């Protein structure tokens, strides 16, 4: 690694990958620091290894090559990914635009659906969203469509960033990929590169233009320039075999994700005293909720075969409630993820004790500890029960607060969720109606391990706004009071989106990166 670049980008998910790509295309010398490893198809867990699900958990000391980062905070459990490509390594590939009315409240004036549409379009060059083809027919699509009909909410196929077709070189990045083989493993990594992930699209293209990507490099501190126009300096821990070090650039883009970026800024606040008082505010879980409708009996709803086909394929809309219900899927016999979502009551013995102790530490202020592989059991596969899985989203109040705890200065999220009660009531009501229409037995869950609310779509913490009183960044991701410092990732989203968020995060990053390229210091 060089000592200095034109731009340093922290994180390589949607925000980081897109920014690195557009700056590298513009001829800038770009360095990307990513705390997780680089995955190729053969690194993802194979079906025969699924009993080894605990190996999936990322931990900076015990398992820096892990894929999932699961954090238990006081009020919220958050699931994200670590690795080059960020959340796109495990996402269900759903690419939805936010409804126009979302932008009417809580967003900077410049951001409207009309303003974002060209940037949404731009993301499609790389991510190429397509609906599942009719051939071969998928049972889960059939079962969900029948469920929607019974519930009088017709199912719509979801646009997925998945390649359905022949083996090819991706036109945006020239990376080889095969077509989708309906392996149902999108949420633990697609072994045939059929998902248009950020690492094989934007990041690969950035590299073809000379960007350097450094996996297993976790950024720890940020120092502002000592003089106007000088370099930002970041320090990193090398989680691989090399040495820790620092790297500099006049432009620093933070794209470490909602938790990663908010944590970095909170922990470096003394070095950056002019940051907005809004830092840490507007946390949202994007109204995530999970429902499992067991043993459906209504015509056409049985035998959805949830492990066959992309993880999500279709959705039912409840526009008056701002709620969507999408189908979900799990790789065949994949119990590890269910363990995480079903919580401690499904654990036994010393693992249960370990998790209880971890929970106690969190309550005493020692939060922000990723779950470790030993927290989860290796389990034998169980026969699948006939079920419809509902992955739901709505517009919560986005009024959670990230902060450092007293006396340990650990990152934590506090969220009483009282103002979101109506949203979660609407989600539960919608799930009940649909399960009833399918004549199934609904298990509705908001909770993750140890009964805390769980989300895989965290947003906010560095909200965008038109003034520094209410926002950490402006509508282009520029950090107020700190020229040269940008945030372009999910942390700048100031409200819940109520649909899968990555396309909106990507569009905001495309827009911010284009403005950064246009105004780059000579």
Ligand X SMILES: Cc1cc2nc3c(=O)[nH]c(=O)nc-3n(C[C@H](O)[C@H](O)[C@H](O)COP(=O)(O)OP(=O)(O)OC[C@H]3O[C@@H](n4cnc5c(N)ncnc54)[C@H](O)[C@@H]3O)c2cc1C
Give contact residues for ligand SF4 (rule: CB under 6 A).
162, 180-186, 190, 192, 194-195, 309-310
Q: Say how far apart CA 363 and CA 369 lie, in whole Å.
A: 12
**CB count in 10 Å sphere of residue 351:** 16
**Sole window of 121-129, 253-261, 344-352, 445-453 interacting with ligand X (rule: CB under 6 A):** 253-261
Which 8-state DSSP code applies to residue 86? G
Interface residue with ligand X, options 204, 434, 505, 513 (CB under 6 A): 505
Nearer to ligand X, 218 or 473 (CB): 218
Cα distance between residue 231 and residue 167, in whole Å? 44
Q: Please report how close the Cβ of residue 195 comes to ligand SF4 at its closest, in angstroms.
A: 5
CB nearer ligand SF4, residue 96 or residue 195: 195
Q: Is 72 in the site for ligand X (CB under 6 A)?
A: no
Minimum CB distance to ligand X, residue 284 (Å): 11
Residues 460-489 touching ligand X, rule: CB under 6 A, are 489
Q: In what order do the strands lie in the sheet with 217-223?
A: 217-223, 232-238, 245-249
- Taking alpha carbons only, the member of 521, 285, 314, 304 closest to residue 415 is 285
3-class DSSP assignment, residue 79: strand
Q: Which of 54, 184, 250, 260 binds ligand X (CB under 6 A)?
A: 260
| Binding partner at 457 among ligand SF4, ligand X, none, C-beta below 5 to 8 Å by kind | ligand X
Q: Which of ligand X, ligand SF4, none does 13 bind, CB closer than 5 to 8 A by kind?
A: ligand X
Label residue 439 left, alpha or beta by phi (over 0 means left) and psi (-120 to 50 means alpha). Answer: left
Quick one: which of 57, 94, 265, 266 contacts ligand X (CB under 6 A)?
94
Query: By C-alpha distance, which of 271, 278, 229, 273 is closest to 249?
Result: 229
Complex with ligand X: residue 151 or 222, whichever CB lies closer: 222
- CA distance linking residue 203 with residue 385, whole number of Å: 39
CA pair distance 94, 195, nearest whole angstrom: 10
CA distance linking residue 396 with residue 496, whole number of Å:
6
Please choose, out of 13-21, 242-250, 338-346, 472-480, the segment that lies near ligand X by the rule CB under 6 A.
13-21
- Shortest Å, Cβ 454 to ligand X: 11
* Candidate list 22, 71, 457, 478; residue touching ligand X; CB under 6 A: 457
Q: 68 or 480: whose CB is closer to ligand X?
A: 68
Which of 256, 389 has the CB closer to ligand SF4? 389
Contact at 8 Å (CB) between 195 and 9? no
Name residues whose C-beta falls within 8 Å of residue 200's C-beta, 6 or more positions apart in sequence.
85, 170, 173, 175, 177, 193
Residues that bind ligand X (CB under 6 A): 10-16, 33-36, 79-83, 86-88, 90-94, 187, 218-219, 255-258, 260, 264, 312, 456-457, 489-490, 500-503, 505
């Amino acid at each position: 690694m060089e000592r200095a670049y034109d731009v340093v980008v922290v994180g390589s998910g949607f925000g980081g990958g897109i920014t690195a790509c557009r700056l590298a295309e513009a001829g800038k010398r770009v360095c990307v620091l990513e705390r997780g490893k680089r995955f190729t198809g053969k690194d993802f867990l194979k079906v025969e290894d699924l009993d080894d699900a605990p190996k999936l958990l990322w931990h900076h000391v015990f398992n820096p090559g892990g894929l999932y980062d699961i954090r238990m905070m006081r009020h919220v459990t958050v699931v994200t990914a670590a690795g080059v490509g960020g959340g796109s390594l495990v996402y269900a590939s759903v690419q939805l635009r936010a409804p126009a009315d979302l932008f009417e409240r809580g967003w900077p004036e410049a951001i409207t659906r009309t303003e974002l549409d060209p940037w949404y379009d731009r993301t499609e060059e790389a991510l190429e969203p397509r609906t599942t083809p009719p051939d071969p027919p998928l049972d889960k699509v059939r079962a969900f469509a029948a469920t929607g009909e019974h519930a009088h909410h017709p199912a719509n196929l979801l646009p997925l960033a998945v390649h359905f077709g022949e083996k090819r070189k991706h036109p945006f990045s020239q990376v080889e990929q095969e077509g989708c083989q309906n392996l149902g493993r999108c949420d633990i990594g697609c072994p045939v590169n059929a998902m248009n992930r950020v690492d094989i699209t934007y990041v690969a293209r950035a590299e073809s233009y000379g960007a350097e990507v450094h996996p297993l490099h976790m950024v720890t501190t940020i120092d502002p320039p000592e003089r106007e126009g000088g370099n930002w300096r970041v320090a990193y821990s090398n989680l691989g075999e090399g040495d820790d070090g620092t790297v500099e650039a006049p432009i620093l883009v933070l794209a470490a994700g909602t938790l990663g970026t908010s944590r970095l800024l909170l922990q470096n606040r003394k070095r950056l005293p002019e940051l907005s008082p809004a830092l840490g505010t507007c946390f949202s879980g994007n109204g995530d909720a999970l429902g499992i409708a067991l043993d459906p009996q209504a015509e056409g709803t049985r035998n959805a075969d949830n492990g066959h086909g992309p993880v999500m394929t279709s959705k039912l809309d409840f526009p008056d409630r701002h709620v969507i219900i999408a189908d979900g899927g799990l790789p065949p016999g994949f119990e590890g993820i269910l363990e995480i979502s079903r919580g401690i009551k499904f654990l036994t013995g010393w693992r249960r004790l370990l998790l209880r102790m971890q929970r106690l530490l969190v309550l005493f202020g020692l939060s922000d500890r990723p779950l470790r592989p030993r927290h989860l059991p290796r389990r034998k596969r169980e026969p699948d029960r006939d079920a419809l899985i509902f992955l739901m989203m709505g517009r919560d109040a986005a009024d959670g607060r990230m902060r450092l705890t007293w006396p340990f200065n650990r990152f934590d999220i506090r969220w009483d969720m009282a103002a979101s009660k109506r949203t979660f009531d609407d989600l539960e009501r919608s799930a009940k109606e649909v399960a009833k229409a399918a004549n199934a037995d609904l298990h509705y869950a908001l909770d993750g391990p140890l009964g805390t609310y769980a989300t895989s779509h965290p947003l906010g913490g560095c909200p965008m706004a038109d003034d520094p009183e209410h926002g950490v960044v402006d509508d282009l991701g520029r950090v107020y009071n700190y020229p040269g410092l940008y945030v372009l990732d999910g942390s700048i989203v100031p409200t819940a989106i109520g649909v899968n968020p990555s396309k909106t995060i990507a569009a905001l990053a495309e827009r911010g990166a284009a403005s950064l390229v246009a105004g780059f210091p000579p």
